Amino acid sequence: MEHAIRRARGILEVKGGSMQSAPHITGATRLYVLVGDPLAKAKSPELLNRLFLKQGAEAVCVPFGVKADDLSAFVTGARAIRNLSGVLVTMPHKQQMLGFVDELHSTARQVGALNVIRCDDDGRWIGAMFDGLGCVLGMEWKDCGPANKSVLLVGAGGAGRAIAFAIASAGARTLTIFDVDERRADDLAESVTAVTGCRTQFGPPDPRGYDIVINATALGLNPEDPTPVNPDWLEPGSIVVDIINAPELTRLCRAALARGCRIQDGRPMHEGQAVHTLRFLGFEYLPEGRPAPDTRLRSAPTQDVP
């Protein structure tokens, strides 16, 4: 064969009839996986694999598309993989995965969800949650920090829960949470108030009167999705944060720009998550030009899962 066939973005290469594996993958390579469904737009494998190559790490990250009903089967198989060092967890598994780990980092205990698992050499899985800390770090990088601000958060799922605790802990003046499941949002507001002391309540998705509006729902993943708040009610000068990490601006961000708002798309949160997550997994990563976050997170206490 005179032509070259590349598969899996260079992991397998066929040239002149011979097969060659990528030089950074050996018998000692450590495996990191991203588990979720769907994963077509996931950015984490690309980011991690670039970092591993840059640092010369014997590691690779691979996406595993796993439906909610198949999570238990995935965990059973993954537990048997001796060179598995970490699992990145995304929708729809962030809360269900709590039942499959041995210990919880303080971030996951507080939130009741996780987005990363460190698989230690002794076989124990330790789960942590950095959605919230990543969101706040991204906001601070963009000079949009929540300290002394009134905040409206739309969405009280796994990511929303993490962001609520992080926003309140970062010094928000007030926090209002809306979710289509009113009971879930109300329970979250009570928990955030009890843990952080921030004045937090359930309220409607009306952005008027808030310094910061955050979309923590999946609305925006598809171009035809409605906006999580009425864009005509966005106030000029307010900050609109959309955690959707898409190549193009979401409908909410475009509407906010048209209304004279400052916007932050999902990329800063994604980068902030990566900083905390990779440190938890034992790697150092910092986007160019960004200051480092607090260094105490990796040593934060863990607790066995009952």
Per-residue pLDDT band for 215 (boundaries 50, 70, 90) equals very high
Per-residue pLDDT band for 305 (boundaries 50, 70, 90) equals low
Q: Average pLDDT for residues 215-234, to the nearest whole number?
A: 94
Q: Catalytic pick from 15, 41, 67, 94?
A: 94
Question: Interhelix angle for 182-196 vs 158-169, to 10°?
Answer: 30
Q: Rounded CA gap, 18 and 148, in Å?
A: 62
94 is catalytic: yes
**Predicted pLDDT of residue 124:** 97
Map out the domains of the chain as residue ranges: 26-129, 132-266
Contacts of 155 (CB under 8 A, 6+ apart): 178, 179, 215, 216, 217, 228
The dihedral built from the CA positions of residue 253, 254, 258 and 264, taken in this order, carries a sign that is positive
* H helix intervals, 124-265: 131-141, 158-169, 182-196, 251-258
The answer, yes or no, to whether residue 13 has pLDDT greater than 70, is: no
DSSP 1-61: --S-EEEGGGTEEEETTEEEE-TT--TT-EEEEEEES--TT--HHHHHHHHHHHHT-SEEE
Q: Rounded CA gap, 127 and 115, in Å?
A: 7
Average predicted confidence (pLDDT) for the chain = 88
The answer, yes or no, to whether residue 232 has pLDDT greater than 60, is: yes
What does the pLDDT look like over 241-300, one tens digit per residue?
A: 999 988 889 999 999 999 999 999 999 999 999 999 999 999 988 888 788 776 544 434
% of the chain beyond a pLDDT of 90:
75
Per-residue pLDDT band for 304 (boundaries 50, 70, 90) equals low
**Predicted pLDDT of residue 11:** 40
CATH topology of domain 26-129: Rossmann fold (3.40.50)
Length of the chain: 306
**Predicted pLDDT of residue 41:** 78
Cis check for the bond before 23: say yes or no (omega within 30 of 0).
Answer: no
> What token pair was written down for 213?
């509006």
Contacts of 8 (CB under 8 A, 6+ apart): none
**Predicted pLDDT of residue 25:** 86
CATH topology of domain 132-266: Rossmann fold (3.40.50)
Per-residue pLDDT band for 80 (boundaries 50, 70, 90) equals very high
Angle, CA of 27, 28 and 32, to the nearest 5°: 105
What does the pLDDT look like over 117-156, one tens digit per residue?
A: 999 999 999 999 999 999 999 999 999 999 999 999 999 9
What does the pLDDT look like over 154-196, one tens digit per residue?
A: 999 888 999 999 999 999 999 999 999 999 999 999 999 999 9
3-state secondary structure of 65: strand
**Predicted pLDDT of residue 251:** 95
> What token pair was written down for 40?
């077509």
| Same fold flag, 26-129 and 132-266 | yes
Q: Rounded CA gap, 171 and 18, in Å?
A: 59
